[in-house]
Chain A
Amino acid sequence: MTTQLHQALTALEQIILGKPRQLRLALACLLARGHLLIEDVPGVGKTTLALALARVLGLRFQRVQFTSDLLPADILGVSIYEAATGGFRFHPGPIFAQLVLADEVNRASPKTQSALLEAMEERQVTAEGETRRLPEPFFVVATQNPAYQIGTFPLPESQLDRFLMRIALGYPPPEAEKSLLAERERRDLLNEVTPSLTPEQLVQLQARVKDVKTTPALLEYVLALVRHTRDHNGLRMGLSPRAGLAVRRAAQAWALLHGRGGVIPEDVQAVFPAVVNHRLLAASEREAGAPTAEEILDVVAIP
């Protein structure tokens, strides 16, 4: 089945040029049943990435453009009175899709943000006293413009860790950008992509992630990384146990993606920055002295 994953990856690489690493992280995030936060300036292909993921994996896709006047019901759905039946009928909101793109999530009010984040966490929606399960697989890709842009509500740190990973796309490398300019519109290309996986296969793959072996030696390494952040002076507090679990799960997905039956230290190193960087809280306001995940990886020895 991992061959299909590779097909999916290859297809994605045709659309998003020059970003193989981010694509793998996004796919691993999805496999690990986590949600993805993409933080970058407008125009680097955040939305295209989400669309491509949905297309390649054959997922039902919904897009919500977050604005400051967006209400929770606009996402979750609303019950409307129907004269014909004489009762209320629930009209599910855009969240009832397999892949939801929450575009510019930091433009919405905190209330709306937290409605989304709760749905992400619970994988179900409670509206008007009735709980409805969200479809399987369920995957949220949220995009966020860096916080210095005006008129935004940056996600609070406590909610940031609802996202398994945070990645940045960045500008494409020069060669890729050249092809980008020369070739056809990316969104047009998308229409020609055929799904490499069915949603059912994806669910099966997701189930296999937890079976990827993590030996005690490997867990020691994860522990060493987590403990290092707890002893560090530059951090307000270290990584939580939940963060440790997230690192493990992401590394398992990464190993599966690379066709390994067990996690090796390199897998942990590959996912660690994406999983951890948005969970590290600097001790001082201006983030001085706080190490990045990359710096932590550099100094912590592999036991």
Chain B
Amino acid sequence: MTARPTAADYLTQASLLRLLAVLALVVAPHLPRLPPWAALLVVVVLLWRAAAAVRLWPLPPQALKLAVATVAFAGIYAHFGRGSGQTAGTALLTVMIALKLTEMRARRDVMVVISLCYFLLLTHFLFSQEIWTVAYLLVCAVAITALLIESNHPGAALAPGITLRQGARMVAQALPLMAVLFVLFPRLPGPLWGLPSDAGAARSGLSDSMSPGDIAQLIQSDAVAFRVRFDDAPPPMAQRYWRGPVFWNFDGRRWGFSAQALAGGAHLGPVAAEFAGAPTRYELTLEPHRQRWLFALDLADPQALPAGATLTYDHQLFAARNVTDRLLYRAASYTQYRLQPELPERPRRIALTLPAQGSPRARALARSWREDGLADADVVGRALRMFREQSFYYTLKPPALGREAVDEFLFDTRRGFCEHYASSFTVLMRAAGIPARVVTGYQGGERNELGGYYVVRQSDAHAWSEVWLDGRGWVRVDPTAAVAPTRIEAGLGAALSAAEGLPGFLQARGSGSWRYALEARWDLVNARWNEWVLAYGPALQQEFLSRFGLADWQRMIAALTGAIMLILAALGAAMLRQSRPVRTHDRALRLWRRAARRLARQGWVQRASEGPQDFAERVARARPELGPAVRRLAQAYLRARYLEGSDPANEARLAEAARGRGRGAGRAWS
């Protein structure tokens, strides 16, 4: 039987309500991630517990608690199909903490809840590692620590001001340790908790196919796709084409990968490319998009690929596996190039394939150009002239297209976004017998003046075409540039009229406005955060630490231990310094201290708050043979320091006594 808790084991109502408030603060970000019924359960239990504390309602009986806990567990298991993993585990933890409240009576239970709060706080990192999360976590840590201080305090509640201040101080003291652990704690390759594959599923980005309307939808998002820092001067905006997925297959509406090109990628291999001019070198931080492809400026130098990356037959850059974490890589590109001057029969055939039926008007148009006897390059020029000179419009809100998407667009609606132009242009080229394919990626990018880097957002997504011309290889042709040259030269915001209903973030993006400055600054902070904190994975850690000769794990752990010991030692020394007596010019005190040190060596330590006479009596009681000498010492000291004052005679007497010479008894201590 455990002892019945006493009154001191209970928290006051005020403390209990504060505990609930802190718990609500810690749980809040998890609520949207829970199944709705679980979120409701958590909120209801929190509110009920607060009401129970105020109204002094009894806590529910054991059987009911057990039933609710079982049902909640089963519900979460049923909802997620498992009881562990990132979301299911967090949901389970959150719900169980809430249920713990229903049996929270005594101080002991409160300790459990507080420990769980710390743990729950940690789980937020499984979902987000942004700066905001860290700031929020620090705030929560201070609040929980304040609660811990409060509930450890015997008797009644301390004022929240006191505990919060103390909590903040303790969290601040922990920060250096946190920094050391961050730098030195061995990083495991791969996520520590084996994040399930649904993490970050909501990320937007280019996909592995393209239909009309896809990119127009994508540009509604101002999410960052990647950030680029050029080593030297960047190429002009009109040449900043970031190559992404290349599409060969067309089914009349949708562009997709060529099955052959992908499956045969291994044996087809990268193709010959000739480069001219100086390479552009850059460092690119790619936001995770859960796909394998990487982005590179047209055209990536095969000699300077990022580690582990490969080039495909159509010169796409592929990572070794899906990009699930922010990825930083270096690459080099040439803006003057000749790609695949010799086109073998098989890829030529694929690049000319059109669906067996459909697009009769486009085919007829292309045939008519051919019948005019134009060369390939002239056909390309003719097509672009058509886009430029006839009434084609570049718009975010094209009319819906029916079954014959290409024909309807080219001859009827004539309003479209980049994917309409790229798609129909490529179809026209293939119909005219010119090998062509669609390339998607990003175009442009906005310079962050503060950070000196470029931000490429989802709103910079773009689609263009490549045609293969004899002797020149694959040549990039951007039909959008013919329709709306400003899109390529100045960006999307400039190319669309205000009546288009531009996404809000694009409307306000004029440099010079305060909002722009604020956004640029915030993006810079985020970029630094990514660069310095989040990108600090196993590879970067090894690279960073090897600069200090800490290349292997053993040394890393030794350094970690050493650094923590050093911090603790420094703290200890600081505390010791505080408790050490200050240097003094008081001769009597100096003599006394010297004698006290000698006594301390024999195990007789004077407590700081112990008077000399009490100390002498304590020693004398335990060691009667020391008694006379110690008493004489204490008396001499008291006389010199308190009873009469420090005159030479008293000091001499004290010095004599401090030597510990008993009357004819030899030295009592030395």
Contacts and interface: CB of A to CB of B under 8 A. Distances in A.
B545 interface: no
B16 interface: no
A218 B586 CA distance: 13
Contact of A264 (B153, B609, B638): B638
The listed residue with most B CB atoms (<10 A of its CB), out of A264, A285, A297, A299, is A264
Interface residues of A, number: 26
27 contacts: A213-B645, A215-B642, A215-B643, A215-B645, A217-B641, A233-B158, A261-B643, A262-B638, A264-B638, A264-B642, A264-B643, A265-B642, A266-B613, A285-B156, A287-B155, A288-B153, A288-B155, A288-B156, A288-B157, A288-B158, A289-B155, A298-B609, A299-B609, A301-B609, A302-B608, A302-B609, A302-B610
Contacts of A242: none
Contacts of B159: 283-284
At the interface, is chain B mostly helix, strand, loop or mixed?
Answer: loop
Interface string A244-281: 00000000000000001111111001000000000000
A287 B642 CA distance: 35
A223 interface: no
A265 B642 CA distance: 8
Nearest to B154: A288
B644 A262 contact: yes
B644 A213 contact: yes
Given A288-B156, A289-B153, A260 B586 contact: no
A147 interface: no
Interface of A: 213, 215, 217-218, 233, 260-266, 269, 283-289, 297-302
3 closest pairs, A vs B, by CB? A288-B155, A301-B608, A262-B643
A286 B643 contact: no
Given A217-B642, A300-B609, 6 more contacts: A217-B589, A269-B611, A288-B155, A289-B156, A289-B158, A302-B610
Interface residues on B, range: 20 to 34
B581 interface: yes
Nearest to B635: A264
Contact of B611 (A215, A266, A285, A298): A266
Interface string B580-598: 0100001001000000000
B612 interface: yes
Given A266-B613, A284-B159, A289-B153, A261 B644 contact: yes
Interface of B: 153-159, 162, 579, 581, 586, 589, 608-614, 638, 641-645
The listed residue with most B CB atoms (<10 A of its CB), out of A218, A261, A302, is A302
Contacts of B579: 301
Contacts of A299: 609
Nearest to A298: B609
B125 to A, nearest CB: 33
A220 to B, nearest CB: 10
Contacts of A263: 642
Nearest to A284: B156
A263 B641 CA distance: 10
A301 B581 contact: yes
A229 to B, nearest CB: 15
A266 B614 contact: yes
Nearest to A213: B643
A147 to B, nearest CB: 17
A284 B157 contact: yes
Contacts of B162: 233, 283
A289 B153 CA distance: 8
Contacts of A218: 642
A286 B155 contact: yes
A65 B153 CA distance: 42
Contacts of A289: 153, 155-156, 158
Contacts of A261: 643-644
Contacts of A264: 611-613, 638, 642-643
A276 B614 CA distance: 21
A261 B158 CA distance: 44
